[in-house]
């Protein structure tokens, strides 16, 4: 896998790509909160018939040099378009997990002609209650003891059965979240978990073929799309249930098979 640093209006972001130059529809992967592009390693290695790109989201993975002092989910959607432009991708399938899925929804809403399909894995799509916000704020107090905080967040996002059967999941999660400074965690939590936009009406009005995947133990609920797949596990289904994630991708590829790239 190749790595490239791109200077976008948010700052420098790292992008991983497979270097394939076929005419098949490219796929762009966006990870969720506390994670990085390694979330999609299995899918990236299997999809060798088309260009595949995985982006380290702002402040995550190797995308540490974010120069824009304040940024929003809308800014993340613009970043996605900039990355596609940098790779001369006019239309793509985008598969996003959680925060990445939220980013994909906003980008597809604003630039529908750039997308042939969306895969939304565990997408938060409703505003949260004040009690949920208070709960997250209280958890932030636990950041004074980072190992305690990581344990609490792990219990929220990963099913116990997944940790028991695939302990590497917990190791990956702890490794990726440990790279985030406390201030970074607070910032992205406010952006994604505490004050997310109401995406429900936006998803309903998308002009892009959209398939959702949700973990059977996840907290986000059923988004308003016609086709929904159910994965084992909780919130981090791309690695808790990679088989169903691969199924999602193949359905998207099949649904876009009759479309042609305008390139």
Please determine, for residue 105, whether its predicted confidence score (pLDDT) is greater than 60: yes
Host domain of residue 105: 2-255
Q: Has residue 59 been placed in a domain? A: yes
- What is the pLDDT, as a whole number, of residue 255? 87
Query: Scanning the structure block, which residue is given the tokens 């969306």?
Result: 118
Q: Has residue 262 been placed in a domain? A: no
First to last CA, the chain: 24
Q: Check: CB of residue 55 under 8 Å from CB of residue 92.
A: no
**CATH code of residue 160:** 3.40.50.1820
Tens-digit pLDDT profile for residues 210-256: 999 999 999 999 999 999 999 999 999 899 999 999 999 999 999 88
Q: Has residue 78 been placed in a domain? A: yes
Please determine, for residue 137, whether its predicted confidence score (pLDDT) is greater than 80: yes
Q: Are strands 27-30 and 2-8 parallel, antiparallel or unpaired?
A: unpaired
Q: Has residue 260 been placed in a domain? A: no
Q: Has residue 77 been placed in a domain? A: yes
Total number of domains in the chain: 1
Please determine, for residue 143, whether its predicted confidence score (pLDDT) is greater than 60: yes
Q: Has residue 29 been placed in a domain? A: yes
Helix (H, G, I), strand (E, B) or coil at 143: helix
| Mean pLDDT across 193-206 | 96
Q: Has residue 68 been placed in a domain? A: yes
Tens-digit pLDDT profile for residues 31-60: 999 999 999 999 999 998 999 999 999 999
Pick from 256, 246, 253: nearest CA to 40: 246
Please determine, for residue 19, whether its predicted confidence score (pLDDT) is greater than 90: no
Q: Has residue 100 been placed in a domain? A: yes
């Amino acid at each position: 896998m190749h790595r490239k640093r791109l200077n976008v209006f948010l700052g420098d972001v790292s992008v991983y790509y497979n270097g394939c130059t076929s005419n098949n529809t490219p796929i762009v992967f966006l990870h969720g909160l506390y994670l990085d592009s390694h979330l999609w390693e299995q899918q990236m290695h299997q999809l060798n018939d088309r260009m595949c790109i995985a982006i380290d989201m702002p402040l995550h993975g190797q995308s540490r040099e974010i120069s824009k002092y304040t940024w929003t989910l809308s800014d993340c959607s613009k970043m996605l378009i900039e990355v596609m432009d940098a790779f001369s991708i006019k239309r793509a399938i985008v598969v996003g997990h959680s925060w990445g899925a939220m980013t994909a929804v906003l980008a597809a809403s604003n630039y529908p002609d750039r997308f042939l399909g969306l895969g939304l894995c565990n997408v938060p799509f409703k505003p949260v209650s004040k009690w949920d916000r208070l709960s997250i704020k209280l958890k932030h107090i636990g950041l004074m003891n980072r190992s305690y905080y990581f344990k609490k967040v792990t219990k929220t996002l990963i099913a116990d059965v997944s940790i028991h059967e695939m302990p590497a999941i917990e190791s990956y999660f702890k490794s990726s979240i440990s790279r985030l400074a406390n201030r970074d965690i607070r910032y992205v939590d406010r952006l994604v978990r505490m004050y997310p936009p109401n995406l429900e009406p936006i998803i309903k009005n998308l002009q892009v073929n959209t398939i959702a995947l949700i973990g059977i133990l996840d907290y986000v609920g059923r988004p308003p799309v016609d086709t929904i797949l159910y994965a084992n596990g909780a919130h981090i289904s791309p690695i808790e249930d990679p088989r169903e994630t691969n199924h999602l991708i193949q359905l998207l590829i099949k649904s876009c098979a009759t479309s042609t790239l305008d390139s």
